[in-house]
């Protein structure tokens, strides 16, 4: 089996972390005997500098024709006043791929519970899946700019709410059966529609899922006060952008988290939730594990290579268990060193996976390697 992966390294630390993710995926492919063809494409600020556009037709076509798209990061201060911003390319790509559901899982490795700015006993055991609506709302509403005014509008249709809520309800069913829908229905009409549609679906199609509603301001507070009460969270584009950055602090570093953006068709778009970190770009300091987690999601959700995804996650666990950490986590590894060690952990995790497989043949009780 051969899969094509469109790689968009982008800006800032994007190329550094993408290189690690690419090598990790290639190693998994070797072990599981499938082929990955990577095609690296200009995107974001890097593409503006070369072609005057953050997303060229060539890059878009290549993404649309790929089995999955991997993105590093976009943006940087050098394009702040440019006529076109790198971020516009990302929004255009999300819209063109139709990836309306952005999955941002946040879990806390036990070795890392004391790395969070919150107390360890608050964050230990946290396991949240944020489902952010990604192709509507404030990011895509009608806009106007005048000399002395500017406006952005938040518009949602029933269909847009339904399709993302369905993804969230289905995930809740596979997880702990709980869904929190976050809105601002005490103020916004778009939120009142959101709440009505989600409530109707809950009552009609998902009576087995425990659904509750929370205002965005209260959700921001409860996420810090009692984070382990959350299972799946579904919310509007902008609210999800903000809540997911907040939630990343539970895990210890924003550099750890990955995301999947999915629509009704292939390809999905997989990217770490962090930005381009211009302050540390080019210094080999970035934490590549958010990119590696995104790569695991790409292998599993994007390609259906679930065993490969599993082994890659076990390799990340091994990095934490051995405290093979970059500076953001208090370690001393550079991004590229972490990448090299990652490959050794992948090999070890793959061997453990094979042994587990043999043992499963003899006994139902297989200790986690």
Cβ closer to ligand IPM: 190 or 237?
A: 237
Q: Is 95 exposed, middle or buried (0-12, 13-18, 19+ CB in 10 A)?
A: middle
Closest approach of Mg ion to the CB of residue 81, in Å: 21
Q: Out of 90, 249, 254, 333, which residue is the one contacting ligand IPM (CB under 6 A)?
A: 90
Degrees (nearest 5) of the Cα angle 126, 68, 20? Answer: 65
Residue 20 structure tokens: 């690690």
Q: Is 196 helix (H, G, I), strand (E, B) or coil?
A: helix
Cβ closer to ligand IPM: 19 or 74?
A: 74
User: Segment 3-32, which members bind ligand IPM (CB under 6 A)?
Assistant: none
Omega within 30 of 0 (cis) for the link into 6: no
Cβ closer to ligand IPM: 75 or 302?
A: 75
Residue 241 lies near Mg ion (rule: CB under 5 A): yes
Say how many C-beta atoms besides its own lie within 10 A of residue 141's C-beta.
15
> Which residues carry out catalysis?
139, 184, 217, 241, 245
Cβ closer to Mg ion: 273 or 285?
A: 273
User: Segment 225-264, which members bind ligand IPM (CB under 6 A)?
Assistant: 241
Closest approach of ligand IPM to the CB of residue 113, in Å: 24
Residue 87 lies near ligand IPM (rule: CB under 6 A): yes
DSSP 9-65: EESTTHHHHHHHHHHHHHHHHHHHT-EEEEEE---THHHHHHHS-SS-HHHHHHHHH
Q: Is 68 helix (H, G, I), strand (E, B) or coil?
A: strand
Which residue has 């009609």 as its token pair?
204
Binding mask 257-296 for ligand IPM (x = CB under 6 A): ----------------x-x---------------------
For Mg ion, the binding residues (CB under 5 A) are 241
For ligand IPM, the binding residues (CB under 6 A) are 74-75, 87, 90, 241, 273, 275
């Amino acid at each position: 089996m051969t899969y094509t992966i469109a790689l968009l390294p982008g800006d800032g630390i994007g190329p550094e972390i993408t290189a690690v993710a690419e090598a990790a995926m290639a190693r998994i492919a070797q072990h599981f005997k499938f082929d990955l063809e990577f095609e690296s494409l200009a995107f974001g600020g890097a593409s503006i500098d070369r072609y005057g556009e953050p997303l060229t037709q060539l890059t878009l076509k290549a993404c649309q024709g790929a089995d999955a798209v991997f993105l590093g990061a976009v943006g940087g201060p050098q394009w702040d006043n440019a006529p076109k911003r790198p971020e516009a390319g990302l929004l255009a790509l999300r819209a063109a791929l139709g990836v309306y559901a952005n999955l941002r899982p946040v879990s806390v490795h036990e070795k890392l519970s004391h790395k969070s700015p919150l107390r360890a006993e608050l964050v230990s055991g946290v396991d949240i899946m944020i489902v952010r609506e990604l192709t509507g709302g404030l990011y895509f509403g009608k806009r106007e700019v005048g000399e002395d005014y500017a406006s952005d509008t938040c518009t949602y249709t029933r269909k847009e709410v339904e399709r993302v809520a369905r993804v969230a309800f289905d995930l809740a069913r596979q997880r702990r059966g709980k869904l929190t829908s976050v809105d601002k229905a005490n103020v916004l009409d778009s939120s009142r529609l959101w709440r009505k549609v989600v409530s109707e679906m809950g009552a009609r199609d998902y009576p087995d899922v425990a659904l509750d509603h929370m205002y965005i301001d209260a959700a921001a507070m409860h996420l810090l006060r009692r984070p382990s009460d959350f299972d799946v969270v579904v919310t509007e584009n902008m609210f999800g952008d903000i809540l997911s950055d907040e939630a990343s602090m539970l895990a210890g570093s924003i550099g750890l988290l990955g995301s999947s953006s999915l629509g009704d068709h292939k390809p999905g778009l997989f990217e770490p939730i962090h930005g381009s970190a211009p302050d540390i770009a080019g210094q080999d300091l970035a934490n590549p594990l958010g990119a590696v987690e995104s790569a695991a999601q790409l292998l599993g959700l994007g390609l259906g290579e679930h065993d490969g995804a599993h082994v890659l996650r076990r390799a990340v666990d091994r990095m934490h268990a051995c405290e093979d950490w970059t500076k953001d986590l208090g370690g001393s590894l550079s991004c590229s060193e972490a990448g090299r060690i990652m490959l050794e952990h992948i090999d070890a995790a793959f061997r453990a996976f094979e042994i587990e497989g043999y043992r499963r043949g003899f006994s139902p009780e297989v200790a986690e390697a």
